[in-house]
């Protein structure tokens, strides 16, 4: 696919009713991804902490959730489900089946029970989210049941030829099992949620070379935990993935058309500035090309780009202060 990244001021506008909408919600240090199908079905994969996710669901017009997915039991993934369950009454909730003895976990389960949500355990299964969107559930395989991160629930979403993968805080032992069992399904996804907020211990080059994402979105807040790590950013760069971060870009929205082309809109500041990238299917030859643009070296480094040579994607003379043909040197 030919990919073009432009930095443009845009007005807020509604996407086509025929589009699949995937919103990586800006909930601070945590994960929350809202999926809305062309026929109006909705799924929330994780909910961050507090009430931010619930507030954003209301903003985006959600009336009731069809599916809630708890990737694992940590508060930065499930804490927000208490408010979500109370306000949006999910029809079903999918989780890894591992109990966690925390007050947050107990409150969330009680909220789902009160909402009347059907409980589903993460086993190998397919779920139709509306008429056109399919979810393949990838349970953790052969990992100790005492480790919440390693037992994160994987979800591969398909809409025609477009694929998205969510893996919670899965660890290398988890992704190795997924790669061995689901290699053909996972190969060449367009969109990928960074594992464990871009921690240095989770996303591996081996797994990223299998999924080969065009885009990686990192759900991350203030840098209290060293997220995202330079190691993870380097891995994303090695597979030529474009990186978006909720701490820098706000809520990131991916609108996918039935033909597989998609547009990315990323909030900045107060949300009046947008970043848009549109892709369309490209012929098999010549080879795909990528153009990226950064306003300054800080933005480039945050996306994992350094030592950008003249002629390479992302180079601008304004960022080459010493005029030696290399911008944003280490």
Q: Read off the pLDDT of residues 208-263 as tens digits, 9 standing for 90 and up.
A: 999 999 999 988 877 665 558 788 889 899 998 999 988 888 999 999 999 999 99
Is residue 306's pLDDT more than 90? no
pLDDT for 88 equals: 98
Q: CB of 134 within 8 A of CB of 158?
A: yes
Region for residue 250 given its phi and psi (left: phi exceeds 0; alpha: psi -120 to 50; beta: otherwise)? left
The structure's pTM equals 0.77
Q: What is the domain partition of the chain in residue ranges? A: 2-9+16-291
Distance CA 2, CA 278 (A): 9
Q: 163, exposed or middle or buried, with CB in 10 Å at 0-12, 13-18, 19+?
A: buried
pLDDT for 52 equals: 94
pLDDT for 288 equals: 32
Residue 302 backbone phi and psi in degrees, to 5 = -60, -25
User: Is the CA virtual torsion 228, 93, 191, 146 positive or negative?
Assistant: positive
Distance CA 263, CA 286 (A): 22
Distance CA 210, CA 27 (A): 29
Closest alpha carbon to 199 in 76, 18, 117, 330: 76
CA atoms within 13 A on the CB side of 211: 32
Is residue 151's pLDDT more than 90? yes
Peptide bond into 207 cis (omega under 30): no
Task: Please say whether the structural domain 2-9+16-291 has been given the CATH code 3.60.15.10.
Answer: yes
99 or 165: which leads in pLDDT: 165
Q: CB of 294 within 8 A of CB of 305?
A: yes
Is residue 35's pLDDT more than 50? yes
Is residue 115's pLDDT more than 60? yes
Give the residues across from 163 on adjacent strands: 158
């Amino acid at each position: 696919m030919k990919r073009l990244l432009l930095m443009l001021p845009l007005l807020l506008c509604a996407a086509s009713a025929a589009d699949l909408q995937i919103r990586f919600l800006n909930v601070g240090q945590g994960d929350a991804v809202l999926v809305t199908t062309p026929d109006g079905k909705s799924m929330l994969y994780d909910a961050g902490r507090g009430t931010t996710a619930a507030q954003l669901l209301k903003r985006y017009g959600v009336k009731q959730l069809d599916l809630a997915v708890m990737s694992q039991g940590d508060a930065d993934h499930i804490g927000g489900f208490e408010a979500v369950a109370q306000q949006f009454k999910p029809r079903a909730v999918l989780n890894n089946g591992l109990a966690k003895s925390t007050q947050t976990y107990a409150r969330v389960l009680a909220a789902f029970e009160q909402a009347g949500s059907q409980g589903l355990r993460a086993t190998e299964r397919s779920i139709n989210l509306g008429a056109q969107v399919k979810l393949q559930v990838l349970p953790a395989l052969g990992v100790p049941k005492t480790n919440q991160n390693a037992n994160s629930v994987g979800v591969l979403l398909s809409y025609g030829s477009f694929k998205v993968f969510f893996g919670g805080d899965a660890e290398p032992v988890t992704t190795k099992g997924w790669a061995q069992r689901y290699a053909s399904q996972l190969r060449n996804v367009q969109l990928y949620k960074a594992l464990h907020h871009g921690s240095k211990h989770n996303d591996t080059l081996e797994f990223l070379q299998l999924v080969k994402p065009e885009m990686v979105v990192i759900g991350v807040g203030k840098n209290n935990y060293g997220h995202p790590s330079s190691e993870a950013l380097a891995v994303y760069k090695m597979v030529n993935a474009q990186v978006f971060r909720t701490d820098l870009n706000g809520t990131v929205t991916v609108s996918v058309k039935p033909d597989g082309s998609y547009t990315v809109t990323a909030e900045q500041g107060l949300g009046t500035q947008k970043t848009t990238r549109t892709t369309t299917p490209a012929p098999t030859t010549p080879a795909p090309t990528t153009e990226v643009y950064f306003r300054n070296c800080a933005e480039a480094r945050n996306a994992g780009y350094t030592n950008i040579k003249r002629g390479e994607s992302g180079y601008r003379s304004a960022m080459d202060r010493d005029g030696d043909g290399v911008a944003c040197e280490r």
